[in-house]
Structure 1
Amino acid sequence: MSFGEPKFVDAQSIYFGKRRLRLKDVRIVRKDALRRAVAGTVVGNVIEWYEFGVFAYLITVIGPVFLPKADPTVQALYLYGTFAVTFIARPLGGVFCGWLGDRIGRRKVLTFTLLLMSVATFATGLLPGYAEIGLWAPALLVFLKLLQGFSASGEYTGGATFLSEYAPDRKRGFYVGFMGSSYLGFAFGAGLVAVLQVTLGEGAMQSFGWRIPFLIAGPLAAIALYFRYRIEESPAFSAVLKERSEEAQKTGELRENMGVVEVIRAQRRFILPVMGIAAAGNVIAYTMTSFTPTYLNQTLGFQGAQGTLVIFPLFVLAAFATQFFASLSDKIGRKRILFIGAALGILLPIPAFMMMGSGNLWGAALGTLFIMVCATLFSSSYASALPEQFPTESRASALGLAYNLGNAAFGGTAPLVVAALIGVTGNVMVPAYYLIGAAVLGLVSVFFLKETSRRPLNGSLPNVETKDEAQHLVQTQDANALIDRQQMPLPYAAFSRSPDGTIVQLPHDDLAVQRAASEAGISLEAITVTR
């Protein structure tokens, strides 16, 4: 517990700091509400990332549909460019969805992002090809991918923020680790495309089969929206909304949430490190999820569905590995997991891509597995570590801005950049070097993050699982290194140090306390909120 400079009143040393936690301050997480929150986030996450990812597995199929006169390399570059275009919308979507989430709530924004993604995906399945409408076909495809990018920017950061605020502090990594269900969405997409390629054949896939994965988005969205509507707003942000309402009743004015410039100014210490981690993790992740299938088929000469079949089981494994590493981060710390991921991201890409180039499926699978390990170490920990860097009042805005800027600049462009570099250099090992560079950036960024495992969120009161845990936390708060009341929305109180060194909280009506508070310009009644 930290205090300011003491005020000496009548020879008594008085310190000011946030008042002690009381039992009623500590939130006991309702298990039924937590289960619904996890289910709503996971189901929506799986379906949204299925919709986002399925495009990458159809690149070699739909290239002739939208650019029939171009050679396969140009088709792939165009479609990778279309994929990269989605990330142009990411920063804008991240800022808007983050601002909206900090204004009206996380739950409503998550419903909005899911609906927008599903509409754009379903519409993609209805698009006429180049043969029907000429250049309008690729132009409309780019527009729909922009809508997907806008939506995806709010889905991941919104979901991570939502689960971070819902989960008990000691198990936050475990619960936020369910964001790794995005790999199940990628697996579903890869598996469906592989089945269609095997059963329909190349001609039927280019004629109508490519539309099926996109059209399935309609009924899938209905299922996901049902689960999303059943979840409640996160308790941490509900408290922020309540505090704003009470303040408005007293002052007659509703406090606005922070704008972009204010967020950057207030959170500049962590904006760049979060961007660096997001860039590194997503370069590795999108290389695995979106670039590898086409790389195996088009660059290394694998046939048909082979490239997709290699990564399908690895996506399923990645979802479970993410959950394991996320739970481990609750025990050994977020930064340690991120550090290991970055270190392996430097060491493994070269042997991984050498194995992929060995010419056999087992070598390709093992090489892709190496990349998967690096990707899951990043995604398992940063899903909880990055939201934890920012205060509740502006968490969605700050995370949406920082994460999506890093992702847009490096992550989403990774498939396009490495494909272009392979075309220019003829060197199939270029992706390995690009991944190493990203991992170095991630390694440096880790050192600038604060360790947040098992601690209450900045700007929120503690979340626990049981009443016994709450009582123990209140009783041991002064000696608990994980508790920092200065970051909690609590009113100030006066303290003094007794002869035996014990810190004693003083009553507000003590005349000496009132005089010292007046001199220090401190209100002992107002709840101070970290922004």
Structure 2
Amino acid sequence: MIHNTYLMAMSQEFEMEQSMSTVAHSHLPPARRVAAASMIGTTIEWYDYYIFGTAAVLVLNDQFFPALSPAAGTLAALATFAVAFIARPFGGIIFGHFGDKVSRKTILVWSLMLMGMSTFIVGFLPNYDAIGIWAPILLVLLRFLQGLAVGGEWGGAVLMALEHAPEKKKAFYASWTQSGVPAALVLSSTIFLLMQQMDEASFHAWGWRVPFWISALLIVVGLFIRLRITESPEFLKMKSEKREVRVPLFELIRTAWWPLILGTLTLASPNIIFYISSVYLLSYGPTHVGLNRDSVFMALIIAAFIQVFTIPMVAMLADRLGKKKIMLAGAAMVALLIYPVFWLVNTGQPMAALGAMIIALPITHATAYAVVASFIPELFQPEVRFTGSSLAYQIGGIITSAPAPFIAEYLMQSTGSSMAVATYIAVAAAVGFTAIALSRPAKKRIDRPEARASSSVTP
């Protein structure tokens, strides 16, 4: 009953917006405004996501798991961080369901609000000394809600940019959403780097909460921008032709299970090199090579900043040469260039570490990742595109991103050689290369009245 009431309310909102769109179609905002809104919103959502991960390493173990040993407390904090990976596919299913049935835009606004509220509350959450066991319980719950929000964010953001974009510039405009990920990494890392300049007592007492409080201001900005854009034209067309399906998840499993598998595996190369570079190398450099942690941190920030601009540059090339060619080139680059990345880091020189980060992120990862936002959604028909894109991206995160730092450290401890880690990444890139090679865009529907009538499975 609650589900039906919610659908009716959102349907009314959709019908109003559809009517307005029909009357003033020529006044729809340009693709660049929608792409910019998607990028800014994605930056804010991933900023919220990343600051939790940084806090998990720096301070959450002391604040919420003090009864454990330092090592066990750190593991518990990292486990709390990992909870979001479990929640993300559920977010993709929930937000994808309504995004495919009712509204792309509305769901995108709700995902931003959920992420913002969850993050802001973490900044005020009492620690273990204040409320005991409820502190870590509430922390895990808020992290789960963050995962739900991110699960719906990526699919909605890329679809709004992609479905508003001109036919010959789809990779370019969709890639703006991808640029939001390194932009968020720069923003979150910089703020935490500044906060760590405080004396240690102040940082642990209240300084670590400031990045979470800042998210409230960012969310207000994001909502203001997202509320000013219109619904996806492709989604409006699908609704006008009554092609929405009753349960997008079931329809996806029934008709597009193979594209879902391939879409998930295409993420192996970009996801693994990103998390190896942005997470594992932060500990590998100081622990195994003797690099100063701040040097590695600054190298990461500089490389991520450059990547904000190289991602759309790669996407422009994809619009000219073809998305699939660039995706294949990106996977091949990951397999080949990961070895020089470790060779440079192993020198123990800060400038060499910066060179390694630049090879890994704005060059290699950008090539492998820039076109994902237009490549994966086009594997699915519009009526299951939100659900399919979100699930492929989020399941890909679970099986590739989440275990990457742990597998890398296990290989390093077992073999004593970083080349074993590099080979693991190269094999993963080969898996991604194969999935990309096998992938095909979903066939476009024939715009005939009889075809449209038969395509609807909604009673």
Asked if these proteins are the same fold (TM beyond 0.5), I'd say yes
Deviations 1:437-490 (A, max 9, x none): 32121111111112x6xxxxx57xxxxxxxxxxxxxxxxxxxxxxxxxxx2351
Q: Where does 1:69-88 land on structure 2 (aligned, <5 Å)?
A: 70=68, 73-88=71-86
Other structure's SS at 1:153 match = helix
1:413–1:270 CA distance, 2 compared to 1 (3 A) = same
Query: For residue 354 of structure 1, what is the aligned residue in structure 2?
Result: 343
CA distance in 1, matches of 2:342, 2:73: 23
State the 1:302 CA deviation. 4.2
Q: Which amino acid aligns with 1:438?
A: A
2:16 is matched with none
Q: Structure 1 pair 55/354, CA: closer, same or farther in 2 (3 Å)?
A: farther
Cα deviation, residue 262, structure 1:
2.2
Question: Given that residues 31 and 173 in structure 2 are in contact (C-alpha distance below 8 angstroms), is that contact kept between their aligned partners in structure 1?
Answer: no
Equivalent position SS for 2:298: helix
Corresponding position of 1:313: 302
Q: Write the distance in 2 (CA, Å) between the matches of 1:391 and 1:155.
A: 19
Structure 2 counterpart of 1:393 = 383
- CA shift, 1:292, in A, is 3.2
The equivalences for 1:37-436 within 5 A come to 37-62=34-59, 63-68=61-66, 70=68, 73-179=71-177, 180-197=179-196, 199-244=197-242, 256-297=245-286, 300-303=289-292, 305-372=294-361, 373-419=363-409, 422=412, 431-436=421-426
Letter of the 2:372 counterpart: Y
Cα–Cα, structure 1 residues 72 and 345, in superposed 2: closer, same or farther, change >3 Å?
Answer: farther
Contact 2:311–2:370 under 8 Å retained in 1:
yes
Contact 1:165 1:236 in 2 (8 A): yes
Question: Is the Cα–Cα contact under 8 Å of residues 345 and 435 in structure 1 kept in the other structure?
Answer: yes
Separation in 2, partners of 1:200, 1:378: 38
Question: CA-to-partner distance for each residue in 1:220-260, whole Å, 9 max, x for gaps?
Answer: 1111110011010010101112222xx9xxxxxxx644442
1:34 pairs, out of 13, 31, 49, with 31
Deviation readout 1:389-430 (Å, 9 max, x if unpaired): 111121111212222222222223323443455566665555
Counterparts in 2 of 1:262 and 1:106: CA distance versus 1, 3 Å: same
Equivalent position of 1:443 in the other structure: 433
Which amino acid in structure 1 is aligned with residue 176 of structure 2? F
Amino acid in the other structure paired with 2:439: L
Deviation (angstroms), 1:300: 4.5
| Contact 1:99–1:257, Cα closer than 8 Å, also in 2 | no
Report if the CA contact (8 A) 1:29-1:166 is conserved.
Answer: no
| Closer/same/farther in 2, CA of residues 398 and 276 from structure 1, 3 Å limit | same
Bigger Rg, structure 1 or 2: 1
Displacement of 1:84: 2.0
By how many angstroms is 1:202 displaced? Answer: 3.3
Q: Which amino acid aligns with 2:435?
A: S
**% identity of equivalent residues:** 29
What is the letter of the counterpart of residue 230 of structure 1? R
Offset, 1:51: 0.9
Task: Determine the structure 2 residue equivalent to 1:501.
Answer: none
Q: Structure 2 counterpart of 1:38, which letter?
A: A
Separation in 2 of the partners of 1:357 and 1:59?
27
Instruction: Give the number of the structure whose residues are more often helix, by fraction.
Output: 2
**Which letter maps to 1:185?**
A
For these two proteins, the number of residue pairs brought into alignment is: 430
Deviation digits for residues 122-178 of structure 1, max 9, x if unmatched? 112122233333443333322221111111111111111221111011000110110
Q: Which structure 2 residues correspond to residues 489-500 of structure 1 after superposition, within 5 A?
A: 489-491=446-448
Moved more, 134-143 or 355-364: 134-143
Please say if residues 57 and 77 of structure 2, whose CA atoms lie closer than 8 Å, have aligned partners that are also in contact: no
Q: Distance between the aligned counterparts of 1:430 and 1:200, measured in 2?
A: 39
Cα 1:32–1:530 shift into 2, 3 Å: same
Instruction: Measure how far apart 1:289 and its partner are.
Output: 3.0
Per-residue CA shift, 1:199-236, capped at 9, x if unaligned?
Answer: 31433322221111111111111111100110100101
Give the CA deviation at 1:106.
Answer: 0.7
Equivalent in the alignment of 1:462: none
Offset at residue 364 of structure 1 (A): 1.5
**Distance change >3 Å, CA 128–CA 291, structure 1 → 2:** farther
**What do the CA deviations read for 1:259-305 (whole angstroms, capped 9, x no partner)?**
42321121123111101012332222222334433443455444463
With over 3 angstroms needed to count, the CA separation of the structure-2 counterparts of 1:287 and 1:364, relative to structure 1, is same
Q: Distance in 1 between matches of 2:290 and 2:77?
A: 19
CA gap 1:160/1:296 in 2 versus in 1, 3 angstroms: same
Change (3 A) 1:113 1:416: farther
Instruction: Report the Cα offset of residue 382 of structure 1.
Output: 1.0
| Aligned equivalent of 1:477 | none
How far did residue 71 of structure 1 move?
5.5
Within 1, Cα distance between the matches of 2:383 and 2:224? 28
Cα RMSD of the aligned pairs, angstroms, is 2.6
Distance of 2:410 and 2:51 partners within structure 1: 21
- Contact 1:118–1:221, Cα closer than 8 Å, also in 2: yes
- 2:241 aligned counterpart, secondary structure: helix
Q: Which amino acid is 1:139 matched to?
A: I
* Higher-strand-fraction structure: 1
Seen in structure 2, the aligned counterparts of structure 1 residues 65 and 110 have a Cα distance that, compared at 3 Å, is same
Structure 1, unmatched stretches of 5+, are: 1-27, 248-254, 453-457, 460-486, 493-522
Distance, in Å, in 1 between the alignment partners of 2:413 and 2:142 is 27
2:119 match: secondary structure: helix
